[in-house]
Amino acid sequence: DPPPASSSSSSLDSSHSECSSTETFDLPPPGDPPSSSSSSSLLVSKCSLPDGRTVCVGDIVWAKIYGFPWWPARILGITVARRGDTGLAVRQEARVSWFGSPTTSFLPLGQLSPFLESFQSRFDRKRKGPYRRAIAEAASAAKQLTPEVRALLTQFET
């Protein structure tokens, strides 16, 4: 039996992202022949992570790239690729922009975690410089700083 759709996460829902908007972006990307039976990609405004939490376009998250520490980023878009015959989601990717850097990356959703909820487990207090600046930018973008996060940040101001 598939687990019921998680409604328990609504208490964690943050109001600063697309989660609160009614807009959905379920349009196929331009130039994709509608008859392609192999797979189709949809741009969506929100998506569930493997751990059941929901991420939305505009959310501030921690993201991981091989060889780098967990780094703060903002979700610019989420793409879900589905198999044409079964309709099952085969690939879910987010395009993120990195704080403190002009670059963007495409990452599987499994390599993202919500910024504020995961702050204590992801924040590396030993890192300085650009990392610290990126964290400060992400924190002010996330706005709704929890007291724990605020305490951690002020404790380590450089």
Please check the confidence at residue 137 and state whether its pLDDT lies above 80.
Answer: yes
3-state secondary structure of 100: coil
As a whole number of angstroms, the distance between CA 57 and CA 150 comes to 24
Confidence bin at 121 (pLDDT 50/70/90): very high
Please check the confidence at residue 126 and state whether its pLDDT lies above 80.
Answer: yes
In eight-state DSSP terms, residue 2 is P
As a whole number of angstroms, the distance between CA 88 and CA 2 comes to 14
Number of other residues whose CB lies within 10 A of the CB of residue 108: 12
Sorted by where each starts, the structural domains of the chain and their CATH numbers stand as 40-155 (2.30.30.140)
3-state secondary structure of 133: helix
Q: In the predicted model, what is the mean pLDDT of residues 72-95?
A: 86
Task: Give 8-37 pLDDT, tens digit per residue.
Answer: 443 444 444 445 444 444 444 444 444 444
At 54, list the tokens: 């929901």
At 22, list the tokens: 């009614």
Number of other residues whose CB lies within 10 A of the CB of residue 71: 24
Q: Give the strand pairing for 89-98 and 71-83.
A: antiparallel
The residue assigned the tokens 């922009």 is: 97
Q: In the predicted model, what is the mean pLDDT of residues 94-112?
A: 93
The residue assigned the tokens 């759709």 is: 5
